[in-house]
């Protein structure tokens, strides 16, 4: 940090807007004799303390994210589809409208932060462009489309000292804090296995939301006049427009999304990583229903092995999707629902299924600790506070990056191109070398080659 006393006062010190926001918030709190209504409206944050935020990808979840920070200044909306922009603009009529995020970042010099809620394959390049300009970033889960993108995006956020948050809202819940307290208090002894499952993409989702286990469409309908298909593709390989990809149905396609594991993994695995203090796995492997080179399988199971962490034993983590789930343990009575989505920790002294302790005998003898992990101020509030100089958000990229890396390693094990080589074989991972050591052919899937004209 530079010593400010050595600056030339005649030239004046440059003060970043982020520093100003932090200072303004501190000053407003200190000068309490000034009535609140003088600084801003009654009960409102003074205008000088509000962030200028842009939404990039403003349909569906992107719109929901914007409404969650609507107390700030929403100054710009950007989407490759004008239909999405027009819908969002009804609630943010003062915002400037853009179709190309690059133009928006170039013109909107007043931006403090961006919310990125585009298809997975564009998360990294958009977030990186904003980070390099010193903008704070909220990015939907999964953080990126590839393992390499997750690694370098976290590094860039750290280097540029911006406030970040990934969109896995459950990390701010009290229930995940109580879970950690139970496990750390020895409720089930040493945890040896964890099972996490989701019904996505079940038949309902396959019919209504996004397809998996299907081939590329062969017809080539015209691109809707309100859509810029080139901007949608961004760095992905060239292919004709089709409504099978947009809106939202992109999630199941290898080139655009990350499948059921990418969709839900950063949500469901978050409490597991925090409770067990997980880092990088030593290996991973997968099995699934039929695979093809276009879309993720309809169902899959991915297994990760993690080494011991301090006094915590090595652990086996199993992920299931498409309706697959683990068998019911004897300790869990038949009347207890396993659920279509769930998490089960298996320890030496018991089981925690969806935050319930089993067997009943263990539940009776275990003394639940008094809550001690502080509650979150709120998932979005964490990020806004961090943007103004507060503590980092609970899912800042230093946490979200490594979590996303693990999620996306599982998808590499599902790659159809590798099945003939390594059917059900373990992939051994060296995070320091950033290398799958026993299957060199798999390393090409750690990153992607962007289409000409696009880069991180």
Please report whether residue 250 resides in a domain. yes
Please report whether residue 279 resides in a domain. yes
If asked whether residues 218 and 336 sit together in one domain, one would say: yes
pLDDT at 21 (0 to 100) = 56
Span 138-188, pLDDT tens digits:
999 999 999 999 999 999 999 999 999 999 999 999 999 999 999 999 999
Please report whether residue 4 resides in a domain. no
Domain end, chosen from 123, 144, 169, is at: 169
Is the pLDDT score of 39 beyond 60?
no
Is the pLDDT score of 432 beyond 60?
yes
pLDDT at 392 (0 to 100) = 98
Is the pLDDT score of 104 beyond 70?
yes
- As a whole-number percent, the residues of the chain with pLDDT over 90 amount to 84
Q: Report phi then psi at 318, rounded to 5.
A: -115, 130
Give the structural domain span for 91.
17-169
Domain end, chosen from 138, 169, 200, is at: 169
In this prediction the pTM is 0.89
Q: What is the mean pLDDT of residues 3-11?
A: 35
Please report whether residue 326 resides in a domain. yes
pLDDT at 423 (0 to 100) = 66
pLDDT at 419 (0 to 100) = 80
CA–CA gap between residue 81 and residue 226 (Å, rounded): 6
Domain end, chosen from 137, 169, 201, is at: 169
pLDDT at 187 (0 to 100) = 99
218 to 203, 209, 214, 259: CA distances (angstroms): 23, 20, 12, 22
Span 44-93, pLDDT tens digits:
334 358 999 999 999 999 999 999 999 999 999 999 999 999 999 999 99
Please report whether residue 455 resides in a domain. no
Q: What is the mean pLDDT of residues 280-305?
A: 96
Please report whether residue 10 resides in a domain. no
Q: What is the mean pLDDT of residues 116-121?
A: 99
Residue spans of beta strands (DSSP E) within 314-376: 315-321, 342-347, 351-353, 356-358
If asked whether residues 202 and 157 sit together in one domain, one would say: no
Span 199-239, pLDDT tens digits:
998 765 555 568 899 999 999 999 999 999 999 999 999 99
**Count of domains forming the chain:** 2
Q: What is the mean pLDDT of residues 94-100?
A: 99
Q: What is the mean pLDDT of residues 381-395?
A: 97
Buried b or exposed e, range 7-44, using 16+ CB within 10 angstroms: eeeeeeeeeeebeebbebbeebeeeeeeeeeebeeeee
Determine which of 18-22, 168-172, 284-288, 423-427 has the lowest per-residue pLDDT on average.
18-22
- 401 close to 149: Cβ distance less than 8 angstroms: no
If asked whether residues 84 and 215 sit together in one domain, one would say: no
Higher-pLDDT residue of 40 and 348 is 348
For residue 62, what are its two tokens?
């992107």
Q: Report phi then psi at 112, rounded to 5.
A: -100, -30
If asked whether residues 258 and 377 sit together in one domain, one would say: yes
Is the pLDDT score of 7 beyond 50?
no
If asked whether residues 57 and 191 sit together in one domain, one would say: no
Grade residue 348 by pLDDT with cuts at 50, 70 and 90. Answer: very high
If asked whether residues 165 and 176 sit together in one domain, one would say: no
If asked whether residues 113 and 68 sit together in one domain, one would say: yes
- 121 close to 234: Cβ distance less than 8 angstroms: yes
pLDDT at 13 (0 to 100) = 38
The helix or strand, by DSSP H or E, that contains position 436, with its residue range, turns out to be strand 435-436
Q: Report phi then psi at 274, rounded to 5.
A: -75, -45
If asked whether residues 279 and 422 sit together in one domain, one would say: yes
Grade residue 430 by pLDDT with cuts at 50, 70 and 90. Answer: very high
Please report whether residue 131 resides in a domain. yes
If asked whether residues 162 and 84 sit together in one domain, one would say: yes
Q: What does the mean pLDDT of the chain come to?
A: 90
- As a whole-number percent, the residues of the chain with pLDDT over 70 amount to 88
Higher-pLDDT residue of 6 and 309 is 309
Higher-pLDDT residue of 9 and 177 is 177
Is the pLDDT score of 15 beyond 80?
no
Please report whether residue 75 resides in a domain. yes
What's the CA angle centered on 143, arms 139 and 147, to 5 degrees?
A: 155
CATH, residue 278: 3.30.360
CATH, residue 58: 3.40.50.720
Determine which of 317-331, 377-391, 407-421, 439-453 has the lowest per-residue pLDDT on average.
407-421
Determine which of 39-48, 211-220, 295-304, 363-372 has the lowest per-residue pLDDT on average.
39-48
If asked whether residues 440 and 327 sit together in one domain, one would say: yes
Is the pLDDT score of 6 beyond 50?
no
If asked whether residues 138 and 196 sit together in one domain, one would say: no
If asked whether residues 141 and 203 sit together in one domain, one would say: no
pLDDT at 67 (0 to 100) = 98
């Amino acid at each position: 940090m530079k010593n400010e006393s050595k600056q030339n006062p005649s030239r004046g010190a440059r003060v970043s807007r982020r520093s100003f926001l932090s200072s303004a918030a501190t000053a407003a709190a200190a000068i309490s004799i000034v009535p609140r209504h003088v600084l801003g409206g009654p009960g409102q944050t003074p205008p000088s303390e509000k962030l200028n935020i842009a939404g990039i990808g403003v349909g569906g979840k992107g719109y929901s994210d914007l409404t969650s920070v609507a107390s700030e200044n929403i100054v710009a909306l950007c989407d490759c589809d004008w239909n999405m922009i027009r819908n969002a603009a009804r609630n943010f009529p003062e915002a400037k409208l853009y179709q190309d995020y690059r133009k928006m970042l170039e013109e909107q010099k007043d931006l403090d932060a961006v919310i990125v809620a585009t298809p997975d394959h564009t998360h990294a390049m958009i977030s990186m462009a904003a980070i390099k300009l010193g903008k704070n970033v909220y990015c939907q889960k999964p953080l990126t489309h590839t393992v390499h993108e997750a690694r370098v995006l976290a590094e860039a956020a750290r280097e540029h000292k911006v406030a970040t948050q990934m969109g896995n809202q459950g990390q701010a819940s009290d229930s995940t804090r109580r879970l950690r307290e139970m496990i750390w208090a020895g409720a089930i002894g040493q945890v040896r296995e964890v099972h996490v499952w989701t019904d996505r993409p079940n038949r309902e989702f396959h019919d209504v939301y996004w397809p998996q286990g299907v081939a590329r469409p062969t017809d080539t309908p015209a691109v809707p006049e309100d859509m810029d298909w080139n901007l949608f593709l961004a760095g992905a390989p060239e292919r004709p427009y089709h409504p099978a990809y947009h809106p939202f149905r992109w999630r199941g396609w290898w080139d655009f999304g990350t499948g059921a594991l990418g969709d839900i993994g950063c949500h469901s695995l978050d409490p597991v990583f925090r409770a067990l203090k997980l880092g990088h796995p030593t290996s991973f492997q997968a099995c699934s229903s039929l695979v093809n080179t276009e879309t993720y399988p309809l169902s899959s199971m991915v297994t990760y092995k993690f080494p011991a962490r301090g006094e915590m034993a090595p652990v086996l983590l199993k992920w299931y999707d498409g309706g697959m789930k683990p068998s019911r343990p004897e300790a869990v009575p038949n009347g207890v629902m396993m659920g279509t989505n769930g998490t089960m920790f298996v320890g030496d002294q018991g089981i925690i299924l969806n935050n319930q302790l089993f067997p009943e005998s263990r539940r009776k003898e275990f003394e639940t600790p008094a809550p001690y992990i502080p509650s979150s101020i709120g998932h979005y509030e964490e990020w806004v506070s961090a943007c103004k100089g507060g503590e980092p958000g609970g899912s800042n990229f230093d946490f979200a990056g490594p979590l996303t890396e693990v999620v996306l390693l599982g998808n590499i094990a599902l790659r159809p191109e590798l099945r003939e080589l390594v059917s059900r074989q373990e992939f051994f991972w060296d995070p320091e070398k950033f290398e799958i050591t026993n299957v060199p052919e798999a390393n090409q899937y750690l990153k992607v080659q962007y289409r000409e004209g696009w880069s991180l």
